[in-house]
Structure 1
Amino acid sequence: MDQDQTYEYRGYRLVAKPADNGARCWAWRDGVPVHKLIGCDVPDAIQRTRNAIDSDLGVAARDGDAGDAAYTRALEAVLPELSTGQLKMLQARYRAPDRIITATELAKAAGYSNYSGANLQYGNLGKAVHAHHPVDLPVRSNGTLVYTCALADSPDLEPSATEDDSHWRWRMLPSLAFALCALGLVAK
């Protein structure tokens, strides 16, 4: 799709479109361009622009990472240990609308029989990436880190359907999406 995509976000008009090497997104306010960001594709460019707006407004950014290069190095370091299922889950999340997917959908994409296997493998992948690129992670009530948050954040404060982990929605961090593109693990 070469057509401009337009969105409203926190009083800004976002205009995104594909470019030769990814995509660009402009944030306009009162007829003036405030931000112009580049991403590996349109959703990535839009998320980067939203993060820039959030930063301007003093809103905590959704992506607590330290950047594209750090995630690319971390993912490259864990590639030799990546299972086929883990790679399929990353690719499925990347291709999902807005890069949001549930544990049940991840399990299906990876060929696991249920979401428990997907949660375990995705958590293990998050732990491996975190070992190479530590970021602040939430802590469970039992004191353990939520390693999934090294790869994704939740767009919802509550599960999308029930309290069941299988329906919790997670969104891929923009820098992880960039790393997948940079390493050729997904098609733009």
Structure 2
Amino acid sequence: MSMPVLSQFKQDLDGYTERQLHYKRAADIWSIGQMYDHIIVVAEEYADEIERCLASHEEQPLEKTEFGERLFQAGGFTAMKIRLPDEMNQPPNNTDRRETLERRIDDLSTRLMRLEPLVRSANPDVKARHGGFGWLNAQEWYDLIEMHTRHHLRQQADLERYLLEAGI
């Protein structure tokens, strides 16, 4: 099974020209290509955490933070925009061509399909720490990939609107 939201992003990618992928309305606003890079990079980092959980047998009694509990109870991020501290907020890559982004999404999807059955049978008490959400098990890390990717649908709509406004 693949993540429907990731499949949707891949499908949408076909509709963008290279110019549209790299267009930046302002210096502090990402391009669509940067948004894609960010989604992929974060999902790969979270998949690394899944693999860390799967490779360990050390149970962790610590739980999620209050923010992490609210996030998982809600099943996703709220509509608010999230800005990380500057040291954690390096601008994503804006140089990948569409074909490169498609290949990276395909590679990520293949990795997630391989991990999914392992995640379902993983020990829920083996966890890895997320800086903002606390201690997450393999299934929670997997779910977080989907929640994080889905969170960027609003940003995608904003960026597409900027393209229309700019006539690009």
What is the TM-score with the length of structure 1 in the denominator? 0.23
> Counting strand residues as a fraction of each chain, which structure ranks higher?
1
**Larger RCO (alpha carbons 8 Å, 6+ apart):** 2
What is the TM-score with the length of structure 2 in the denominator? 0.25
